Structure 1
Amino acid sequence: MPHRSNREMRDCCGALVFLIVPIAIVLWYLYSPSYDLLKNVAALEQDYRDNVFGQHLVELVVLKAVPDFLNNTDPKKPLVLSFHGWTGGGKNHVSQILARNIYPAVEQRKKCVQSFDVTHHFSQEESIVKEKLKERIYKTVEHCERTIFIFDEMDKMPPGLIDVIKPYLDHREELDGISFRKCIFIFLSNTGGEMLTELAMEFWRNKKKREDIKLSDVESHLSRHAFNKKSGFWHSSLIDRNLIDVFVPFFPLEMKHVKMCVRAELRQRGRAMDEELVTKIAEEMSYHPEKERVFSVKGCKTVATKISLYL
């Protein structure tokens, strides 16, 4: 074997370092939790844009506030969102989009996403419900620090009951040895739906674009409406103590948005785009007010069934 000089050995080692270091950086990046998070955020953005229509203020929250919160390794409190609007606006749809993109794996989702249906889970005696709720929240976060909690039909919850979870939403390092600061709490409610419909109708009649409605135009109204209406958030300490980060308005969908839903459903089924069918299905949906037929009564809820009937 030929003898190599010290200079040759140094050059060889330098070349190896030049190759190994970038490879190590790439491998670390690919297998680090932050890379998974970036992939999830990119998937969330694509899923939202492909499947949610007519909700410009929801987009602002879902594609900005949620990723910012997920990227924060040391949040001061959980992210707490309250979704408001009539049935069909997409509240449940958006919460499921968040859940399936933050936790793409089914097993992981079962472990880290907890959904509560008020009419089902909160039908027992209030004291029993409160204890069960606290226990379920605590045990879930014990095994998954970034748990997503979804409370559906908050407008049907007995007043005062939800305040039992206030300690988990507050600015605390830990509670009984567990930190809840990386959790996401999402409340779904029809409360405020009438006010949002009236605002959207006002813009429509004045020939203004609904996209010009700002979050600041509606958020304080939703907060007051939820606080004063005798339902789940009535005189709630969650609102009184400013623990809800964003009140998110879901406006009623117009016919053009229903058409977008039809196209999205056809794409998902691998069907050729048929604009005549798109228009036919959209026009068959129920709209209100009856004379103007501006807003879809059920949003896009029955689009899939309608398409199945025609296909």
Structure 2
Amino acid sequence: MDGRKPGSPQKAPQKLSLLSSPVRAVIRLRRVAHVLKKGLLATDSQAKLLQRQISSGKARVGNPSSSLLSQRNFESSRYFTFDTSVPQPVTRGSKRKKKYRNPRVLYPSGSSKKYLPAEHKSKAKRCLLLLVGIVCFQILNAIENLDDNLLKYDLDGLEKTMHREVFGQALAIESIMGLLKDYLATHMHNKPLVVSFNGPSGVGKSHVGWLLAKHFRAVVGHGFVLHYFTMHQCRDETSVLACQLDLSKTISEMVARAEIEEKIPLFILDEVEVMSPALLETLGGFFHTNQTNEFLNAIYVLISNLGGDEITNFLLQNVSSDVSQAKQKMGLLQTALRPVLNHLHPLWALVEVVPFVLLEKSHILSCFYEEMMSEGVYPDPNHIEDLAGQLNYYTKGGLQYAVGGCKQVVAKVNLL
């Protein structure tokens, strides 16, 4: 007997049930955590409902047939649905918040005036217009500078003088002036200008050289023009070395002074046909492009009778009075004359060839008139005609070309 009355209630089972209630709750929570670790996720509303059921004690664990945490109840539960497919990876873009566009700007309902938004002009257009203006200004300034440089040499006056005093060489004068204008338009060059006057004797080559020397002495000064006559300044063939040294020294000193004063010197070398090969070699050394700047800014004029026979034969075989055909004939004559000169010396490959053609009888009459006026003799037309008839001529196609040009005119007038 344990001293208790028969029929009194037993309190031990009640205490056991009270102690096991927290244990059951812990077990339920551990099972829920275990399920969640396996990837069985529930929505927020379902989780809240499950939490309320656990707190109210409606969820039972002891009975396997009625437990919410059993496998069968989880699969057929109306509160939880589980997707058994492979979970999709969460992309970074889905976590970003959607950017809402600004709503359209509406005008106030009570406003009487409605203004459209102002269009902002791009600053790049202004910069582009400024750049175009600067480039145009630079081009215009460069053109004006070229004109100023040509005005300094007064090439228009030189051209008028040559057309007035030289007869029968209009195409040659046009070619010479074109070369001079292109070269003298600027002071910086990549090579010197070398021009060769070729033609028969008495057609005006030396006279053109004399006019060039006279004009450039008046423009740039006497110290920047050299008129070199080979037969007078290098007579003795034994003094070729001295002539080489003298000519080389003179050219070097002139180009050095001209570079300091920003002027272009002029070297006129007459009677080149009698120059020795050594002197031609010295002269040709100044024509190359691999020199310092002062030697590149110079003009050389070579005057000779070389190629005179070829020019005479070509003109007599291609007689024409048409101007357009005469220009074509001049181009063909330059092409035919080039290999003849290149065969004589390599320096002719570096020069611009200007052929001087034969003079007609009308040009000889003009020469007589000018010579008689300069000597103070009355230019009687009948007397001039008689004097011109005493000269020798090539007759071809109804035209007469003087054999010796105007050289015989001076001798005839001096006999008067």
Pairwise TM-score range, normalised by the shorter structure: 0.7 to 0.9
Whether the aligned pair in 2 keeps the contact of 1:57 and 1:249 (CA below 8 Å) is no
What are the equivalent positions in structure 2 for 1:279-294 lying under 5 Å apart?
A: 279-288=385-394, 294=400
Q: In the superposition, relative to structure 1, how do residues 129 and 267 fare at CA in structure 2: closer, same or farther (>3 Å)?
A: closer
Q: Which residue matches 1:117? A: 229
Match of 2:218 among 104, 123, 127: 104
Query: Is 1:257 the equivalent of 2:372?
Result: no
Counterpart code for 2:194: V
Shift in Å, 1:161: 3.1
Q: Among the aligned pairs, what percent are the same residue? A: 25
Query: Is 1:155 equivalent to 2:155 in the alignment?
Result: no
**How far is 1:96 from its partner?**
1.1
| Compared CA separation, residues 285 and 82, structure 1 to 2 (3 A) | same
Q: Which blocks of at least 5 consecutive residues in structure 1 are unaligned?
A: 1-28, 229-233
Matched, 1:277 2:383: yes
Q: Any residues of structure 2 matched to 1:30-49 within 5 Å, and which? A: 35-37=151-153, 40-49=154-163
Residue 309 of structure 2 aligns with an amino acid whose one-letter code is E
- Residue in 1 aligned with 2:174? 60
| Structure 2 equivalent of residue 221 of structure 1 | 336
Q: Secondary structure at the match of 1:180?
A: helix
Is the Cα contact below 8 Å between 1:52 and 1:94 reproduced in 2? yes
Alpha-carbon offset, residue 307 of structure 1: 3.6
Residue 303 in structure 1 maps to residue 409 in structure 2? yes
* Cα distance in structure 1, aligned partners of 2:238 and 2:361: 41
Partner of 2:241: 127
- Residues 51 and 261 of structure 1 are in contact (CA less than 8 Å); yes or no, is this contact kept in structure 2? no
Deviation at 1:207, TM superposition (A): 7.0
Cα distance between partner residues in 2 of 1:33 and 1:67 = 10
Partners of 1:102 and 1:142 lie apart in 2 by 18
Q: CA deviation at 1:257?
A: 1.1
Matched AA of 1:243 = L
- Name the counterpart of 1:243: 350
Report if aligned partners of 1:44, 1:102 keep a CA contact under 8 Å in 2. no
Structure 2 unaligned segments of length 5 or more: list them: 1-144
Partner Cα separation in structure 1 for residue 377 and residue 251 of structure 2: 42
Moved more, 252-261 or 59-68: 59-68
Runs of 4+ in 1 over 6 A off after TM superposition: 206-210, 269-272
Q: Give the TM-score taking structure 2 as reference length.
A: 0.56
Per-residue deviation, 1:42? 2.2
| 1:184 shift after superposition | 0.9
SS at match of 2:301: strand
For CA contacts below 8 A with separation 6 or more, give which structure has more relative contact order.
1
- What are the Cα deviations for residues 197-224 of structure 1, in whole angstroms up to 9, with x where unaligned? 11111233x7767734433201132221
Deviation at 1:183, TM superposition (A): 1.2
**1:200 match:** 315
Q: Residue by residue, what CA displacement relative to the aligned partner does 1:177-197 show, whole Å, maximum 9, x if unpaired?
A: x61222111111211111111
What is the distance in 2 between the residues matched to 1:309 and 1:130? 40
Structure 1 residues 170 and 253: alpha-carbon distance in aligned structure 2, compared to 1, 3 A threshold: same
User: Is this contact kept in 1: 2:149–2:186, CA < 8 A?
Assistant: no
Once residues 332 and 238 of structure 2 are traced to their aligned partners in structure 1, the CA distance between those partners, rounded to angstroms, is 38
Query: For 1:270 and 1:43, how far apart are their aligned partners in 2?
Result: 26
Partners in 2 of 1:90 and 1:117 — Cα distance?
Answer: 16
Secondary structure at 1:124 match in 2: helix
Q: 197, 209, 223: which is aligned to 1:83?
A: 197
Q: Deviations over 1:262-310 (max 9, x none)?
A: 23345556877643233222222233479x9933232112424434544
Structure 2 counterpart of 1:5? none
Which of the numbers 261, 284, 289 marks the counterpart of 1:166?
284
Moved more, 73-82 or 157-166: 157-166
- Deviation of 1:36 (Å): 3.2
Alpha-carbon separation, structure 2, partners of 1:278 and 1:42: 32
For 1:76 and 1:280, how far apart are their aligned partners in 2? 53
Q: Which amino acid aligns with 1:248?
A: V
CA distance in 1, matches of 2:330, 2:394: 24
CA contact (8 A) 2:240 2:278 kept: no
TM-score, structure 1 normalization = 0.73
- Report the equivalent of 1:14: none
